[in-house]
Structure 1
Amino acid sequence: MEEIEVIEGGITSPKGFKAAGVHSGIKKCKKDLALIYTEKKANAAAVFTTNKVKAAPVLLDMENIRKSEAQAIVVNSGNANACTGEKGYEDALKMAEKTAEMLKIDKNDVLVCSTGVIGVPLPIDFCLKGIESAAESLSEKGGDDAAEAIMTTDTFKKVIAVKFNIDGKTVKMGGMAKGSGMIHPNMATMLSFITTDANISKEALNKALKKSVDVSYNTISVDGDMSTNDTNIILANGMAENKLIEVNSKEFEIFYRAIEYVNKNLAKMIVKDGEGATKFIEVVVINAKTENDARLAAKSIINSNLVKTAIFGEDANWGRIITAAGYSGADFDPQNVSIFIKSSKGEIKVCENGGYVNFDEGLAKEILKEKEINIMIDLKSGEFSSTAWGCDLSYDYVKINGSYRT
């Protein structure tokens, strides 16, 4: 990508950031508590779940983020601290207070996140001991441990780092995320954390984050469920010492391309790790009347369980695709629609002008046997396009979620 270079590392790649991941006891043996810390207080921005039922740490963070500054993020996995009443909020506050005490910073500069089982009281004593251990273990090499500690049903760590040039200065950005189930277009069941040493205004940082979330996490789907804990946070500590990045500047566009690249790649990693997933699906809607029409159709198709199961079964059932577009709310004429399915094995048109095409079922089957599938739907109504990502729904998805608490 022009001006953006992928580098080794994760959230500790930018200057001034340290992290740790430890086993506190919430889980039986795996790491379950992560800590991210910046030596210099950072400008901060965040996007949270739109679910009316919000976990205690989300409610706390929504208060703390108002001043748009932070210095640490503490995250536990194994317990969502959601639907836990006043005690849950008190426990989230205790996590912030303990982190602040250990790092000698203001408790209001600590953001708290949790992920795991909903409706179970948080084992706060384990968390507090874990925070002590994590604070003592903070390191510029602690990014991998932190990424491991936020995992739940994830099967691999999701990390990325990039560097780019602004004002003659090298700026770095790192990210880590978790998520593989309860993934729905409009913030998924996911936590995502981004760090950067860019010197950027609060207004510009907030705009860049929200815009990038809209084209990344808000376009992915595993199962159509939305969590109570979804959170995406970015910290920018300014230690790259570039000229301040403001909205509507050339420097802002460079910064935005970097954060969009990071968030899109983390979002795709989440989809590829979908619970029980066997295939990665990309849906591209082209020639829509408006950008919103394109986005509505793409999100509806990628979120359709019938489309997902057809892809799992390697069945070119294009009727499910056009039907999902039809109830999306997008404005288009069904009699103009063409649909194509492709993979590394080739491409085939399965629908033309909204109706039947005598296509080669054998070739379609071969195309759908591949691990990465592309569905393109041409609405022939305008010039706008949108892309969404998802995965199939398999038998294993039911097995995983049928016994999630046990």
Structure 2
Amino acid sequence: MTLLGRFTVVPDGTVTTPQGFRAGGLHCGLKKTERYDLGAIVCDVPAAVAAVYTLNAFQAAPLLVTQESVAAGGKLQAMLVNSGNANACTGEQGLADAREMRAALARQLGLAENLVGVTSTGVIGELLPMPKVLSGIEALPEKVHAEGGDDFCQAILTTDLVKKVACVRVNVGGREVHVAGAAKGSGMIHPNMATMLGFVTTDANISSEHLQQLLSAATDSTFNMITVDGDTSTNDMVVVMASGLAGGDALTPDHPDWEAFAVAFGYVSEHLAKMIARDGEGATKLIEVNVLGAASRDAARAIAKTVIGSSLVKTACFGADANWGRIIAAVGRAGQPVQTETVDVQLGDIMVLSQSRPVKFDEDRAEEYLKGDFVQINVNLHMGNSSATAWGCDLTYDYVRINAAYRT
């Protein structure tokens, strides 16, 4: 366990570490291999809930159904997820299938339908093979247990190479409170709200209203600051469930430990976001872009996301080419105010541009730095006091190979 300021990282923690949560997964036949493709998180009690959804105009059917459930009472007790099929752009039949999935899990768990959320990920435009899905849902309750967090992580993966999980413990009012998360995402990552799919659990005593406030703020600086390929999916969603079983006074912005809890929550969100960026399809390295000295926070965010999303910057990092011209070009096209005589650019601690003029630097040292699995690009505009950070990955030959054969 690692102490980071006000919270402690729990290295072996999962979404079932917070009190009241169980999870699990199984293979129901949506994937051609025997990898798990159906999973669920279940809470012992109706949990306070908050969620953010894709801004893509073509929202997938499961997102619409989950929004129905959340709107019905502001509580969820179970989240059902399948991988291998997105159930997106599937019309009325897709919507009916998502509702049938919700109803089926509710029956199996003895819950009201509005306490169940549904989400899917995978190929767009194909109807779900419902006999396989319903058979899997029938078997799922036996697979859901307190040690099932890892199985759940496996069930939500598509082209991901690694599972993505984070867990921390924080003191709130003298009580141990946990925040844990699991996510999937590797391609079609350029969120306008969140990531491909993210699930956060906590045993904090907090209302849905304040949970939504916290999630929206954390999303703004973490999930919304990553990109892999510039595509925003039809199925992006992050959902948070709070069991309240840690007890104590309700967490509100007036609580003395609100800030500590918010920092812990933000850490989980950032950790998951960076893992998604690092696991981009075909990626070999995580890239971090820090923009400093901007005139406003919005300007810093826009510039950071433009640089991290540049295909030319991404390919230069892949090729270990210290081509700072690609970076400065991205800064200049971000649509934000820039003083063209005052920009500094560094690759790690290697200054390559000072006051918008080239600096003589050791090309061999820069190449060696860019060959590593983490690349930091620092851009100082010298215009103000605002800053922002964005994360992404390099663009490789394998990205094309993976996506050229995604359906096969």
TM-score range normalised by the length of the shorter chain: over 0.9
Query: Could you tell me how far 1:188 is from its partner in structure 2?
Result: 5.6
Q: Secondary structure at the match of 1:334?
A: coil
Query: Could you tell me how far 1:251 is from its partner in structure 2?
Result: 2.5
For the residues of structure 1 that align with 2:202 and 2:376, how far apart are their CA atoms? 33
TM-score (norm 1): 0.97
Moved over 6 A (4+): none
Alignment partner for residue 306 of structure 1, among 303, 312, 323? 312
Q: Secondary structure at the match of 2:94?
A: helix
In structure 1, the gaps of 5 or more residues are none
8 Å contact 2:26–2:136 — kept in the other structure? Answer: yes
Same amino acid, percent of matched pairs:
49
In structure 2, the gaps of 5 or more residues are none
Q: What is the correspondence of 1:231-242 to structure 2 with a 5 Å cutoff?
A: 231-242=237-248
8 Å contact 1:203–1:247 — kept in the other structure? Answer: no
Q: Which residue type is aligned with residue 17 of structure 1?
A: F
8 Å contact 1:46–1:209 — kept in the other structure? Answer: yes
Question: 1:3 is matched with which residue?
Answer: 6
Alignment partner for residue 190 of structure 1, among 190, 196, 199? 196
Question: 1:33 is matched with which residue?
Answer: 38
TM-score (norm 2): 0.96
For the residues of structure 2 that align with 1:291 and 1:327, how far apart are their CA atoms? 17
Query: Could you tell me how far 1:182 is from its partner in structure 2?
Result: 0.8
Question: 2:102 is matched with which residue?
Answer: 96
Question: 1:63 is matched with which residue?
Answer: 68
Question: 1:335 is matched with which residue?
Answer: 341
Q: What is the correspondence of 1:230-269 to structure 2 with a 5 Å cutoff?
A: 230-269=236-275
Question: 2:292 is matched with which residue?
Answer: 286
Q: Secondary structure at the match of 2:213?
A: helix
Asked if 1:150 corresponds to 2:156, the answer is yes
Query: Could you tell me how far 1:185 is from its partner in structure 2?
Result: 4.3
Q: What is the correspondence of 1:116-195 to structure 2 with a 5 Å cutoff?
A: 116-187=122-193, 190-195=196-201
Question: 1:404 is matched with which residue?
Answer: 406
RMSD: 1.1
For the residues of structure 2 that align with 1:241 and 1:64, how far apart are their CA atoms? 25
For the residues of structure 2 that align with 1:227 and 1:167, how far apart are their CA atoms? 39
Q: Secondary structure at the match of 1:21?
A: strand
Q: Secondary structure at the match of 1:199?
A: coil
For the residues of structure 2 that align with 1:249 and 1:351, how far apart are their CA atoms? 46
Q: Which residue type is aligned with residue 354 of structure 1?
A: S
For the residues of structure 2 that align with 1:44 and 1:188, how far apart are their CA atoms? 16
Question: 2:361 is matched with which residue?
Answer: 359
Query: Could you tell me how far 1:155 is from its partner in structure 2?
Result: 0.7
For the residues of structure 1 that align with 2:248 and 2:257, how far apart are their CA atoms? 10
Question: 1:110 is matched with which residue?
Answer: 116
8 Å contact 1:199–1:242 — kept in the other structure? Answer: yes
Alignment partner for residue 78 of structure 1, among 77, 81, 84? 84
Q: Show CA shifts across 1:368-401 (max 9, x none).
A: 1111110000000011111111100000000000
Between stretches 123-132 and 9-18, larger displacement belongs to 123-132
For the residues of structure 2 that align with 1:160 and 1:363, how far apart are their CA atoms? 34
Distance 1:207 1:189, change over 3 A: closer
8 Å contact 2:187–2:228 — kept in the other structure? Answer: yes
8 Å contact 1:283–1:302 — kept in the other structure? Answer: yes
Between stretches 249-258 and 268-277, larger displacement belongs to 249-258
Alignment partner for residue 297 of structure 1, among 296, 303, 306? 303
Q: Secondary structure at the match of 1:241?
A: coil
Query: Could you tell me how far 1:360 is from its partner in structure 2?
Result: 2.3
Between stretches 236-245 and 350-359, larger displacement belongs to 350-359
For the residues of structure 2 that align with 1:361 and 1:247, how far apart are their CA atoms? 50
8 Å contact 1:57–1:81 — kept in the other structure? Answer: yes
Between stretches 132-141 and 391-400, larger displacement belongs to 132-141
Pairs aligned (count): 402
For the residues of structure 1 that align with 2:260 and 2:155, how far apart are their CA atoms? 31
For the residues of structure 1 that align with 2:255 and 2:305, how far apart are their CA atoms? 31
For the residues of structure 1 that align with 2:191 and 2:91, how far apart are their CA atoms? 27
Q: Which residue type is aligned with residue 244 of structure 2?
A: G
Question: 1:323 is matched with which residue?
Answer: 329
